[in-house]
């Protein structure tokens, strides 16, 4: 019987294992050095904050794996011999494979700052990072977080839950403005400051200095500012965890190079999730997509191919969601930080309530290209449908109520948005939704 070996037990690798098992009797080994069982990586912060225990983050009971004949192996792979189809483990064992799936994830970036190897300096990506953060927390009164992204804001929320003061160093002019347009980025700036975080924009880390015991004692910024602290969170992005492949015959660049079937240059060797880099990225998509749902889709795609139905990776319309402290964010399609040629946008904001809506559309055809929403929710299936059908922007604005996530209990803002749209684009005037009885009561 042919054997599939999967290195990595995150969402990509486990999805591949489950779907291969659904469609075949192939032998399946899943190897991980992180944890015994698959868990939800996005829930790490809730363990620290006391909202969940680790066992609550495991989508499947521990007996699930044996029942489904998926062999879990706790080990680390140091080397891959693709000629002999053999894996060399850290403990000296060797594992043979017929099909190999590399789903090895990412590692936190470090950029050579003086002092970055001190005790109390770390990122937040895997379970060991959480354990390390927990071990330091009982002696922390002040933390400095470097980098304005999603992992950084999660780490800030974690520390705030324990009343640990946080200073945020963000080198950009506004938080996450390499992704968000200026208005949304500034809304998040205000929201972070409202939560008593010392947000320092256009500020970079220059040096981390030790205390008398050789731990983190302070940082120095590029502006010459000296900040005392006992912890430094490096949340300046992640990069594919591929160092162990440097002596293998598997082609790599920033990540493991794959084609549209997620195949590497070696027959029967595939790469998925955070570590995969497309040789020919899809239009408007990045070569490396480090997002939970894309990892899941990659796992399903490779499972189909290994089980005899060769399948191209087709992720559909881009979407993502996140949370900035208690401020929810959704994006569908393509909303760039700055408009591209032949793009136009409509933006509406209710500043006091931290709510905003943006739609980007083609300036000539008027068909929608993307949506950004902060502070309220839109239905995924409706936004995806509008993008796939290339509907025009006035149709979207006129039918916003269809995308309302919970039309009964959530406040309605369609009327306000429609009025603002009519003011900005009178040539595309739409009808304005009237408030219902329940909505008037809620307001």
Average pLDDT over residues 229-248: 94
In this prediction, residue 43 carries a pLDDT of: 93
Rg (CA), the chain: 24
In this model, does residue 299 exceed pLDDT 60?
yes
Q: Give residue 409's pLDDT band: very low, low, confident or very high (50, 70, 90).
A: low
Q: What contacts 24+ positions apart, CB below 8 Å, involve 266-269? A: 266/82, 268/98, 268/99, 268/100, 269/82, 269/99, 269/100, 269/101, 269/102
Q: Give residue 438's pLDDT band: very low, low, confident or very high (50, 70, 90).
A: very low
Choose between 410 and 273: higher pLDDT: 273
To the nearest whole number, what is the mean pLDDT of the chain?
94
In this model, does residue 252 exceed pLDDT 50?
yes
Express each pLDDT in 161-175 by its tens digit. Answer: 999 999 999 999 999
Average pLDDT over residues 181-205: 97
Average pLDDT over residues 345-362: 95
Note the pTM of the prediction, 2 decimals. 0.93
CATH architecture of 320-442: 2-Layer Sandwich (3.30)
Helix (H, G, I), strand (E, B) or coil at 354: coil
Helix (H, G, I), strand (E, B) or coil at 326: coil
Average pLDDT over residues 71-77: 97
Question: Could you give the residue ranges of the DSSP H alpha helices within 9-148?
Answer: 11-23, 44-48, 63-67, 127-137
Is 344:368 a contact under the CB 8 Å cutoff?
no
Task: List the domain boundaries for the chain.
Answer: 3-107+239-306, 121-236, 320-442
In this prediction, residue 441 carries a pLDDT of: 43
CA distance between the termini of the chain? 65
In this prediction, residue 442 carries a pLDDT of: 45
CA–CA distance from 129 to each of 45, 212, 234 (Å)? 11, 24, 11
Instruction: Give the residue carrying structure tokens 């700055």.
Output: 338
In this model, does residue 439 exceed pLDDT 60?
no
In this prediction, residue 408 carries a pLDDT of: 58
In this prediction, residue 117 carries a pLDDT of: 96
In this prediction, residue 329 carries a pLDDT of: 96
Cross-strand bridge partners of residue 356 = 349, 374
Topology match between the domains 3-107+239-306 and 320-442: no
Topology of the domain covering 121-236? FAD/NAD(P)-binding domain (3.50.50)
Give the range among 189-198, 311-320, 431-440 with minimum mean pLDDT: 431-440
In this model, does residue 427 exceed pLDDT 70?
yes
In this prediction, residue 434 carries a pLDDT of: 63
Q: How far apart are CA 73 and CA 3, in angstroms?
A: 14
Average pLDDT over residues 67-82: 97
In this model, does residue 407 exceed pLDDT 70?
no
In this prediction, residue 405 carries a pLDDT of: 78
Compute the residue count for the chain.
443
In this prediction, residue 389 carries a pLDDT of: 97
Phi, psi of 285 (to 5 degrees): -110, 150
By percentage, how much of the chain surpasses pLDDT 70?
97
Q: What dotted CATH number matches 3-107+239-306?
A: 3.50.50.60
Helix (H, G, I), strand (E, B) or coil at 379: coil
Q: Which of 30, 16, 19, 10 is nearest to 73 (CA)?
A: 30
């Amino acid at each position: 019987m042919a054997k599939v070996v999967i290195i990595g037990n995150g969402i990509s690798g486990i999805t591949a294992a489950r779907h291969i098992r659904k469609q075949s009797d192939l032998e399946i080994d899943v190897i991980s050095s992180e944890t015994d069982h698959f868990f939800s990586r996005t829930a790490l912060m809730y363990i620290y904050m006391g909202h969940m225990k680790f066992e609550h983050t495991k989508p499947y009971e521990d007996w699930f794996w044996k029942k489904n004949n998926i062999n879990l192996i706790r080990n680390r792979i140091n080397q891959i011999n693709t000629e002999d189809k053999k894996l060399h483990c850290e403990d000296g064992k060797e594992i043979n494979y017929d099909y190999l799936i590399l789903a090895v994830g990412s590692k936190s970036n470090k950029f050579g700052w003086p002092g970055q190897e001190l005790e109390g300096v770390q990122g937040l990506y895997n379970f060991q990072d959480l354990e390390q953060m927990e071990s330091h927390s009982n002696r922390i009164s002040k933390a400095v977080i470097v980098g304005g992204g999603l992992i950084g804001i999660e780490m800030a929320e974690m520390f705030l839950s324990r009343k640990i003061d946080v200073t945020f160093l963000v080198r950009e002019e506004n938080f996450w403005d390499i992704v968000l347009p200026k208005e949304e980025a500034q809304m998040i700036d205000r929201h972070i400051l409202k939560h008593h975080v010392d947000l320092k924009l256009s500020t970079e880390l220059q040096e981390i200095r030790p205390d008398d015991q050789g731990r983190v004692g302070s940082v120095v910024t590029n502006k010459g500012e000296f900040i005392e602290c006992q912890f430094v969170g490096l949340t300046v992005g992640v990069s594919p965890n591929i160092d162990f492949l440097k002596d293998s015959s598997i082609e790599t660049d920033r990540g493991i190079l794959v084609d549209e079937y997620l195949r590497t240059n070696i027959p029967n060797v595939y790469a998925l999730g955070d570590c995969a880099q497309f040789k020919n990225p899809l239009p408007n998509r990045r070569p490396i997509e480090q997002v939970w749902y894309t990892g899941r889709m990659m796992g399903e795609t490779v499972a189909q191919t290994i089980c005899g139905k060769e399948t191209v990776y087709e992720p559909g319309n881009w979407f993502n969601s996140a949370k900035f402290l208690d401020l929810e964010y959704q994006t569908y399609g393509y909303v760039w930080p700055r408009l591209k040629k032949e793009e136009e946008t409509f933006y509406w904001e209710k500043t006091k309530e931290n709510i905003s809506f943006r739609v980007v559309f083609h300036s000539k055809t008027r068909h929608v290209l993307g949506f950004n929403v902060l502070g309220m929710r839109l239905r995924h299936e409706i936004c995806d449908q509008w993008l796939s059908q290339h509907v025009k922007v006035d149709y979207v604005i006129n039918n916003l109520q269809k995308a309302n996530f919970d039309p009964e209990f959530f406040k309605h803002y369609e009327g306000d948005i429609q009025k603002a749209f009519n003011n900005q684009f009178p040539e595309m005037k739409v009808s304005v939704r009237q408030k219902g009885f329940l909505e008037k009561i809620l307001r």
